[in-house]
Chain A
Amino acid sequence: MLVIENYTKSYGEKKAVDNLSLHIKSGEIYGFIGHNGAGKTTTIKACAGILQFDEGKIMVDGVSVKDDAISCKQKIAYIPDNPDLYEFMTGIQYLNFIGDVFQVEPKIRSERIHKYADIFELTDDLGQAISAYSHGMKQKLAIISAWIHEPKLIIMDEPFVGLDPKASHKLKEMMREFCDKGGAIFFSTHVLEVAEKLCDKVAIIKDGQLVKSGTMEEVKGDTSLEDVFLEMEGEEC
């Protein structure tokens, strides 16, 4: 579903990501781990088609992000690390805006909006201006907006930040359900316990370079993901 091959992105002289290759298949939840500034967001933004890159290729469902970004974006839902949404809209206006852009039929859209809003207990607040939402509520709205057009691939940057435990639990369930139906999820996280329990595969990036990737068992072996990560970072366990 998502193929990243020899992806390189530089900011001036500095290489933020260097020759990264990852393959994410349908049905997989793929975790992306690394320290702050390792290049996770730079990679995720390029996959979402909002960051131009220098070398390599990124393909979504066989279509190149560079050559046909619009087709790729039709199949993607992207949730950034900070849910900066249109504060001049109400929650329902924002969801309808996303539904209109993805041309989701009104009846189906309405059902999905209310299904997911009920899951996140946000239905009563959909009529409020987003400017009045808390960080967690904005994050929930961003998640609902990602699910309403039923994408093939969901790309998320730190999706659990700001969510309460119940919402985090619901999101994990939704992620699993989405992938079980044939979708794919590529997300970054700092919460290693979540990654360990949720992900089918994981990649660890350090200073822009891939240091380890594979199934959870291949990456962590008999130890915990935290131990592996700290070892990669050169810390004593």
Chain B
Amino acid sequence: MLKILIKKQIFQMYSSFFRNRKNGKKRSMISTIVAILAYVVLLVGCLGGMFAYMGDSLCVPLHKVGMDWMYMTIFASVALAFGIFGSVFNTFSSLYQAKDNDLLLSLPIEPKDIVLARLSGVYVLGAMFSGTVMIPGIIVYGIEAKPGVIPILCAISLYIIVSLFILVLSCMLGWLVAKIATKLKNRSFVTVIISLVFMGLYYFVYFRASEVLNQVAIKSMVYGEKIKGVAYPLYYIGTAGAGDLIALLVCTVLAVLLVCVTIVVMSKSFLTIATSQGGTVKVKYKRKEIKGKTVSQALFAKEMKRFTSSANYMLNCGLGTVMIVVAAGAMLIKGPSVIVVMNKLFKDEAGIIPVLFCLALCSIAGMNDITAPSITLEGKNIWIPQSLPVKPWQVLWAKLKVHLSLTMVPVLLCCISAIIVVKPNIMIGVWMIVLPLLYVLFTACFGLIANLFFPNLNWTTEIAAVKQNMVVLVSMLAGMFLSIGIIILYMAWLGEFVRGEIYLGGCTLVVFALDVCMIQWLRTKGSEMFKKIG
């Protein structure tokens, strides 16, 4: 039974690799391999590359002074933080909010087996996140330090131990989130705020990482002694990864013990939490005066409610709204010093700076991808908009409006900040506002179109619809790559022949034309497609 459940759990997490979401048919072997390779390349290429660089700058200095353990401690700690950060909300969602919990609990299956199967999914995800840190770190260690076979095997074992610790800590935090969630009324907003705090801490550490790494490389002995003194377990874990077999054995036993305790505790509390209806006090409805809305307002309000009621949706697709406002503030504070550096860099071609700022604004404008999972999120409710007397375009437009209203205002703020900092001529100033706003429309339409082509209404957890949705990733990358492409085109080639304002004007026209085409497509063929979904 457990084997079947684990297979189901893993398959559910990665079903898009094996099955076409559009027609539900099994993918061909080649298509599956291409999908998996694309995912691995993306994960290893983008994130793994970053951690390989980190390993490259730390490995030699630490190995030279015989502090391989510190290298392992750093990588294990980063992997631990990264793994927990990546999988804690997935743990909460897949353990306690899975839509098939009721179904599985009704079957003659021990809750322990359901927990074990769910935990296997959590483990795989945690191992994947920690692997993007540990695997490049171990490869760099093997190449640059040449420590021999046993330390490398110990380092690989440390990776497995770290992923077990991630499982334990994710479960503890996931359990805590579930406990808190049952007591909260506005749980989606609280979850978003907690996540933002986590994210703030993450970026604080991230931006200071380079400085910290330099310090560690220079003063490794001092920091080494400090770690031994105040955080001995970290030192011990590091030595386990660097080839100390006794330390490795102790860490392994400890990790396995903790996993066993976690499974026992989770199995005991799973039934209570998974079947809890929220624990909130039942409020008796009081009759109030009803205010009518127009059809368009009603559809917009429904989409907005959908967005604000889901922490997963807000965090994965709408975080840009906060980040863009932060960027607007940062631009005002740090912008002048950036301008000074850029003036030095491009002293012969000062006209390039406003163009770069404008295109950077486009990149920022593409941070939200609210429309990308919006059709998938209709799920089993798709019959409602399809059976109501509204045109499909009205439904699609409401989805676009949520994206536009939550993105355009912050982007406008960011544009104004950029104009204050860059002080461009009037023409470029106009493009610096118009182009990013049109770009917001472009990303909104692109996400919606992509979702119309690849809707998946049969999801069991919301996280699958939002976080594990390839459409969301593709939409985000498309928005980023187009703006990067426009920058490269100007810097590498057209910048020599075309003045900045003319280039930006051309880009504005192209994006405008793309917007018009996409809206026209959504009004016609897209609407027809929407009618047939489901």
A73 touches B277 (CB 8 A): no
A50 touches B386 (CB 8 A): yes
| Residue of A with least CB distance to B294 | A100
| Residue of A with least CB distance to B291 | A106
| A235 CB-CB contact with B under 8 Å | no
On chain B, the residues within 8 Å of A20 by CB distance are: none
- Report the minimal beta-carbon distance from A152 to chain B, rounded to whole angstroms: 12
B285 touches A92 (CB 8 A): yes
- Report the minimal beta-carbon distance from A88 to chain B, rounded to whole angstroms: 4
A73 touches B285 (CB 8 A): no
A96 touches B290 (CB 8 A): yes
| A212 CB-CB contact with B under 8 Å | no
Q: Name the interface residues of B354-397: CB closer than 8 Å to any CB of A.
A: 379-381, 383-384, 386-391
- Report the minimal beta-carbon distance from A186 to chain B, rounded to whole angstroms: 14
Please, how many angstroms separate the alpha-carbon atoms of A110 and B282 in the complex? 22
Please, how many angstroms separate the alpha-carbon atoms of A125 and B391 in the complex? 31
Stretch of A29-37, A78-86, A159-167, A219-227 lying at the B interface: A78-86
B295 touches A49 (CB 8 A): no
Please, how many angstroms separate the alpha-carbon atoms of A89 and B294 in the complex? 18
| A2 CB-CB contact with B under 8 Å | no
Please, how many angstroms separate the alpha-carbon atoms of A88 and B311 in the complex? 12
B532 touches A126 (CB 8 A): no
Q: Name the interface residues of A21-70: CB closer than 8 Å to any CB of B.
A: 48-50, 52, 70
| B64 CB-CB contact with A under 8 Å | no
| B208 CB-CB contact with A under 8 Å | no
B389 touches A86 (CB 8 A): no
Please, how many angstroms separate the alpha-carbon atoms of A234 and B242 in the complex? 76
Number of residues of chain B lying within 8 A (CB) of chain A: 38
B292 touches A100 (CB 8 A): yes
Among A50, A123, A132, chain B packs the most CB atoms within 10 A around the CB of: A50
Among A70, A76, A106, the residue within 8 A (CB) of B290 is A106
| A215 CB-CB contact with B under 8 Å | no
| Residue of B with least CB distance to A149 | B389
| A74 CB-CB contact with B under 8 Å | yes
| B306 CB-CB contact with A under 8 Å | yes
- Known A50-B386, A85-B381: A70·B302 in contact at CB below 8 Å: no
A127 touches B292 (CB 8 A): no
A105 touches B292 (CB 8 A): yes
Please, how many angstroms separate the alpha-carbon atoms of A88 and B305 in the complex? 7
Q: Name the interface residues of B281-326: CB closer than 8 Å to any CB of A.
A: 282-287, 289-295, 297-299, 301-302, 305-306, 309-310
A127 touches B305 (CB 8 A): no
On chain B, the residues within 8 Å of A84 by CB distance are: 379-381, 383
On chain A, the residues within 8 Å of B294 by CB distance are: 100, 103
On chain B, the residues within 8 Å of A114 by CB distance are: 287
A82 touches B380 (CB 8 A): yes
On chain A, the residues within 8 Å of B292 by CB distance are: 99-100, 103-106, 109
| B22 CB-CB contact with A under 8 Å | no
A100 touches B297 (CB 8 A): yes
On chain A, the residues within 8 Å of B380 by CB distance are: 82, 84
| B278 CB-CB contact with A under 8 Å | yes
Q: Name the interface residues of B395-420: CB closer than 8 Å to any CB of A.
A: none
Please, how many angstroms separate the alpha-carbon atoms of A105 and B293 in the complex? 10
A52 touches B531 (CB 8 A): yes
- Report the minimal beta-carbon distance from B304 to chain A, rounded to whole angstroms: 11
| A147 CB-CB contact with B under 8 Å | no
Among B298, B302, B309, B384, chain A packs the most CB atoms within 10 A around the CB of: B384
- Report the minimal beta-carbon distance from B377 to chain A, rounded to whole angstroms: 10
B305 touches A89 (CB 8 A): yes
B298 touches A100 (CB 8 A): yes
B283 touches A127 (CB 8 A): yes
On chain B, the residues within 8 Å of A103 by CB distance are: 292, 294-295
B389 touches A124 (CB 8 A): no
B389 touches A102 (CB 8 A): yes
- Known A82-B380, A97-B302: A48·B387 in contact at CB below 8 Å: yes
On chain B, the residues within 8 Å of A109 by CB distance are: 290, 292
B284 touches A127 (CB 8 A): yes
Mask, B463-476, CB within 8 Å of A = 1, is 00000000000000
| A101 CB-CB contact with B under 8 Å | yes
- Report the minimal beta-carbon distance from A198 to chain B, rounded to whole angstroms: 23
| A10 CB-CB contact with B under 8 Å | no
| Residue of A with least CB distance to B295 | A101
A127 touches B383 (CB 8 A): no
Among B287, B381, B386, the residue within 8 A (CB) of A86 is B381
- Report the minimal beta-carbon distance from A149 to chain B, rounded to whole angstroms: 9
| Residue of A with least CB distance to B390 | A101
On chain B, the residues within 8 Å of A49 by CB distance are: 386-387
- Report the minimal beta-carbon distance from A55 to chain B, rounded to whole angstroms: 17
| Residue of B with least CB distance to A70 | B389
B309 touches A88 (CB 8 A): yes
On chain B, the residues within 8 Å of A99 by CB distance are: 290, 292
On chain A, the residues within 8 Å of B383 by CB distance are: 50, 78, 80, 84
Known: A110-B287, A125-B285, A127-B285. 9 other contacts (CB 8 A): A50-B386, A50-B531, A52-B531, A73-B387, A89-B305, A97-B298, A106-B292, A110-B289, A128-B282
10 interchain residue pairs of minimum CB distance: A100-B298, A127-B285, A88-B309, A73-B389, A84-B380, A126-B285, A50-B386, A106-B290, A74-B389, A106-B292
* 14 A-B pairs whose Cβ atoms sit less than 8 Å apart in the complex: A50-B386, A50-B534, A73-B387, A84-B381, A86-B305, A86-B384, A100-B292, A100-B295, A101-B389, A107-B290, A109-B292, A126-B285, A128-B282, A132-B277
By a beta-carbon cutoff of 8 Å, the part of chain B in contact with chain A is 277-278, 282-287, 289-295, 297-299, 301-302, 305-306, 309-310, 379-381, 383-384, 386-391, 531-532, 534
